[in-house]
Each structure stands twice: as C-alpha cells, then as structure tokens.
Chains A and B, each alone.
Chain A
Amino acid sequence: GNSVTQMEGPVTLSEEAFLTINCTYTATGYPSLFWYVQYPGEGLQLLLKATKADDKGSNKGFEATYRKETTSFHLEKGSVQVSDSAVYFCASIGGSARQLTFGSGTQLTVLP
C-alpha cells in the first residue's frame, strides 16, 4: 500500500518567515496527494491537492508541487502568519491504495 513520510515537528517560526514542510510518498502507481490542516480542537480541512505529476496545488498562500521524480509533495509558504498555527498533514490516495494514507502530522507554531 501507500505510505507517507512527513517532516518531524514541531516547527516554530516568526511571523513573515518562509515555511517548508517536507513530505515524501511511496506508492504503486500514481496517487493523488493532499495537504490537510487541523486547527486546535477541530477536524481536518483540505488545504490543497494535486492529482498528477507536475501539478501545483495552491491555496491561501500555500503551495505544493507533485514531483514524481523525487516522490515529494513539499508544502511551502512565503510568509507565514500567526493564524497559520496548526497541524499540517500530508496524505495520499490511489495507485494501489483505496484508502487515504496520512503522514504523522507537523505542528506549526507562528510567533508574532
């Protein structure tokens, strides 16, 4: 089945700093890739997605590009805000896997 390896946290940044959270995947075939965000005490919200190689997902200033050659889907944001503080999950589905596979999650704290 699929697996997703995500950068260990927690990550603490100052406001307006550049953010990268690494995510790599293993899969048979070509999965769809997602980044979900979870704010304290809430469920998961889809942040962005990419369904095929070289696709770039983007939303709210966040971006991630589906890189087949490096099997990666790293999340980036040029200038983080305090309100971005949350847990971020990388996930994949498809290829040989029928269920969503999550990474371990990365806690991001942005300080003013």
Chain B
Amino acid sequence: GAVVSQHPSWVICKSGTSVKIECRSLDFQATTMFWYRQFPKQSLMLMATSNEGSKATYEQGVEKDKFLINHASLTLSTLTVTSAHPEDSSFYICSERSQTGDNEQFFGPGTRLTVL
C-alpha cells in the first residue's frame, strides 16, 4: 500500500503560537488528502479534504481560519493550527486515498499536538 509520512510526530507549543504539520505522500501523487483529528479514546473526526491546487473543503464546525490547509504539490499537504490554544491539543492524522478505485485510504502515523 501507499506510504504516508507526517512531520513532526509530536510537538509541544505555547498558547498563542502557530504550528505547522506536514503530510507527505512518498510513493504516489495524491491529488486529494484528508485531515483527521482524534481525541483520546475516541474515533477519528474528518476535519477537511485537501485538494491539490485549490482550496480545502472543510467539514461543518471546523474553523477554516483556525486550521489552515495548503496542498501546494501532489506530494505535500500542510495543516497549520493558528493561534493554538490548549483545547486544540489532539492527535492529528492525515490520509490519502488509493488510486485504484477501491476507496482504500492510507494513513500517516499521526502528530501529537500539546498546547500549554
């Protein structure tokens, strides 16, 4: 299956700062990538769909000015958490969809964000 990497794997920051998380597709060109958020002991919540060369599509209730998504190339999507606050602390996971048409998705290893 496809390989998706994320960087950093964990980050601790002060309240009010911005944090950028990178998601890379290592072995094929991904026109669409997905960003999820996961709270402890809970399921994944889709935040937005990142489309290469165009604006991201955000799910209802997700602040687009808070969570900036950029998909500048076919192998890189970034999520920037702006003016982070403790309630933004979470596990963020990106994903890409298989090109084979069977709807399989491949997930990155996740980024643990802790805002102090």
* A, B from the same assembly: yes
Chain A contacts to B: CB under 8 angstroms: 32, 34, 36, 41-46, 49, 51, 89, 93-94, 99-100, 102-105, 107
Find the residue from A44, A46, A102, A104 having the highest chain B CB count within 10 A: A44
Residues A104 and B93 in contact in the complex (CB < 8 Å), given A43-B107, A43-B110, A44-B107 = no
- Determine the main DSSP class of A at the interface with B: strand
Q: For chain B, which range describes its interface: under 10, 10 to 19, 20 to 34, or 35 or more residues? A: 20 to 34
Checking A41, A103, A104 against B112 with a beta-carbon cut-off of 8 angstroms, the contacting residue is A41
Asked whether A89 lies within 8 Å of B108 as measured between CB atoms, the reply is no
B102–A89 contact, CB under 8 A? no
Which segment of B13-21, B41-49, B64-72, B77-85 sits at the interface? B41-49
Query: Are B93 and A102 within 8 A (Cβ)?
Result: no
Contact present for A49 and B43 (CB under 8 Å):
no
